[in-house]
């Protein structure tokens, strides 16, 4: 099972809505499928040009390692050279901070990941969590 | 001036609608801003995993060279080594075939590009053109 | 849905068995999941060291493009610069010849891909097809 | 001398058996030959997509440096810039933590390496050691 485009759209819209409600800076949101491939993305007006890469890096690391951004950041802080080596393996595509979130279905299987960037990492993660739960999925932040 | 997220969403929806009307295979559509940075993307269910990269490569070449996919293909057929060299410059991110389309405003200025992939290159370009015109912009295919 | 390790093992064993029956050179066989990630691989004694990369490139192209190796080769022969551009997008990881085979389930959904290398491309594809069918899946060569 | 496919299969099966016995998370196991080339690999169902790269990075570093993962980690902790430089040489393919294990024959010659990932680094190494010894080889963890 992997995420559908319909679900991905819902996650993006609800994440952006939450950002507006919390008065965050303009957000960018990517949804990847269970294999780490882009399903949908939106970048709000006023966000900087590099935001696709950052959103993607947060979500891609979550898929490849099977860990949310919070757990990735803990590992990076304990063992910086391990996350450095991981980035070598994945061509520098992993951004190990909150805002990368695993999507799980009701049975606990990973069906994709979301990456949010634009405000603080913690606010990015909070918006992602709200968007994912509004779509009926479980967020592992 | 560059494309707004609102316009980008309209282009994607109208391009996908045209694909359904023409009974094309599942499409993937990217919209880049005037600097070649991703503004929005959707991949329909059933499309293969690599479609983000292909859609992006069509649109990115259009922005970086200031040429639609049709003109890029003509150049590739006349002078394959030139397009090979271009791909060296841009880290292999250029796909010089129809389906990469420049977006122009009413004064003729480039405001972004669209990349469509999934069916034949010509059908991809036709769907993109319909989507762009439905959003009130001019398509250079 | 994606391929299980149990099915992947069956495909590899049956592909190697077919190679022995046809008296082919030592084969190497990779099975990728629906997202293009390695599930299982075996290289027979006597095969050259680079065979993992070749088997992987055949299967990876099949997943990313949603096309078997035979269709990829036809496209490469018609439009060499297109397959060259595709290889730029995918970091040179695509080998567009027979021996890359899509795996479909009974409903036609792609659940993975197989890459076989070691003998002629056509013999590689024949062995893959036999292995896949022995595992109860459909091969798109 | 290098590892045979038959031995590689035994190592993988016995390593996975040990993981089940210890109730570890789903494991991924690669066996490289004495030249650092992939001989065999299996990824258990439920393991994240990036596990081939991580298993490979552990084993590849062991071969290229002639050191097990434990010794590599000690060096990384003493001299992070050295392991960073090593990763520059080997295109970012080295993961210097336990779970990368050198295979030696009875005379002490290196005949290959094993990389295991999925649980903690120490548990990965313990499972690898059990698998290697069950195959009649000596493990340098």
Selected for mutation to probe chain A from B2, B27, B38, B51 (highest A CB count within 10 Å) is B38
Confidence band of D81 (pLDDT split at 50, 70, 90): very high
Chain C residues closer than 8 Å to D117 by CB: none
> Which positions of chain A have pLDDT values less than 50?
none
pLDDT by residue (tens digit) across C100-110?
A: 999 999 999 99
Could B49 and A43 be called an inter-chain contact, meaning their C-beta atoms sit closer than 8 Å? no
D9 has a chain C CB within 8 A of its CB: yes
C1 has a chain A CB within 8 A of its CB: yes
Could B40 and A43 be called an inter-chain contact, meaning their C-beta atoms sit closer than 8 Å? yes
Chain A residues closer than 8 Å to D97 by CB: 79, 82, 85
C2 has a chain B CB within 8 A of its CB: no
Could D44 and C5 be called an inter-chain contact, meaning their C-beta atoms sit closer than 8 Å? yes
List, edge to edge, every strand of the sheet that includes A138-140: A138-140, A100-104, A110-117, A28-33, A38-43, B38-43, B28-33, B110-117, B100-104, B138-140
Give the CATH class of B27-37+56-140: alpha beta
pLDDT attached to residue D2: 87
Cβ-based burial of C113 (10 A; exposed 0-12, middle 13-18, buried ≥19): buried
Confidence band of D5 (pLDDT split at 50, 70, 90): very high
Nearest Cα residue to C88 out of B75, B123, B83, B63: B83
Strand ranges inside A44-125, DSSP E: 100-104, 110-117
pLDDT by residue (tens digit) across B102-115?
A: 999 999 999 999 99
Confidence band of B124 (pLDDT split at 50, 70, 90): very high
Going by DSSP bridges, is the β-strand pair B38-43/B28-33 parallel, antiparallel, or unpaired?
antiparallel
**H or E element, residue B133:** helix B121-134
pLDDT attached to residue D72: 96
Confidence band of B2 (pLDDT split at 50, 70, 90): confident
Chain A residues closer than 8 Å to D95 by CB: 82, 85-86, 89
Going by DSSP bridges, is the β-strand pair A100-104/B28-33 parallel, antiparallel, or unpaired?
unpaired
> Over 80: is that where the pLDDT of D1 sits?
no
Rounded to an integer, what distance in angstroms lies between the CA atom of residue B63 and that of residue B41?
16
pLDDT attached to residue C2: 87
Q: Are the C-beta atoms of A12 and A140 separated by less than 8 Å?
A: no
Could B54 and C82 be called an inter-chain contact, meaning their C-beta atoms sit closer than 8 Å? no
Rounded to an integer, what distance in angstroms lies between the CA atom of residue D122 and that of residue C29?
31
Q: Are the C-beta atoms of A103 and A139 separated by less than 8 Å?
A: yes
- Per the document, the length of chain D is 141
pLDDT attached to residue B1: 73
pLDDT by residue (tens digit) across B67-120?
A: 999 999 999 999 999 999 999 999 999 999 999 999 999 999 999 999 999 999
Going by DSSP bridges, is the β-strand pair B38-43/A38-43 parallel, antiparallel, or unpaired?
antiparallel
Instruction: Give the other-Cβ count within 10 Å of D35's Cβ.
Output: 9
Domain C5-42+50-140, CATH: 3.30.450.150
> Over 90: is that where the pLDDT of C117 sits?
yes
C5 has a chain D CB within 8 A of its CB: yes
Q: Which partners does chain A have (≥3 C-beta pairs < 8 Å)?
A: B, C, D
> Over 90: is that where the pLDDT of B22 sits?
yes
Rounded to an integer, what distance in angstroms lies between the CA atom of residue B49 and that of residue A32?
10
- In Å, how far from its chain's centre is CA D57? 8
Nearest Cα residue to A36 out of A91, A75, A108: A91
Tokens standing for residue B119: 């069916």
Instruction: Give the other-Cβ count within 10 Å of A70's Cβ.
Output: 18
Burial B24-37 (b: 16+ CB within 10 A, else e): bbbbbbbbbbbebb
Tokens standing for residue C108: 């036609």
Mean pLDDT across chain D, nearest whole number?
97
**Choices 3.90.1150.10, 3.40.50.1820, 3.30.200.210, 3.30.450.150: CATH for D5-140:** 3.30.450.150
Rounded to an integer, what distance in angstroms lies between the CA atom of residue B94 and that of residue A88?
24
Q: Are the C-beta atoms of D98 and D119 separated by less than 8 Å?
A: no
Rounded to an integer, what distance in angstroms lies between the CA atom of residue B21 and that of residue B23?
5
Residue ranges in B2-139 assigned as alpha helix (H) = 5-21, 51-65, 69-78, 80-89, 121-134
Tokens standing for residue D95: 């993961």
A4 has a chain B CB within 8 A of its CB: yes
Tokens standing for residue C69: 């190796």
């Amino acid at each position: 099972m992997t995420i559908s485009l319909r679900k991905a759209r819902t996650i993006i819209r609800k994440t952006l809505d939450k950002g507006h409600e919390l008065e965050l800076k303009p957000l960018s949101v990517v949804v990847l499928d269970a294999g780490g491939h882009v399903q949908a993305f939106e970048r709000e007006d006023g966000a900087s040009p590099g935001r696709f890469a950052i959103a993607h890096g947060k979500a891609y690391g979550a898929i490849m390692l099977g860990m949310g951004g919070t757990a990735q950041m803990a590992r990076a802080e304990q063992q910086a050279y391990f996350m450095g080596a991981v980035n070598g393996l994945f061509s520098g595509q992993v951004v190990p901070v909150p805002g990368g979130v695993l999507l799980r279905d009701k049975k606990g299987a990973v069906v994709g990941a979301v990456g949010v960037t634009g405000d603080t990492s913690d606010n990015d993660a909070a918006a992602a969590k709200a968007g994912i739960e509004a779509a009926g999925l479980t967020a592992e932040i």
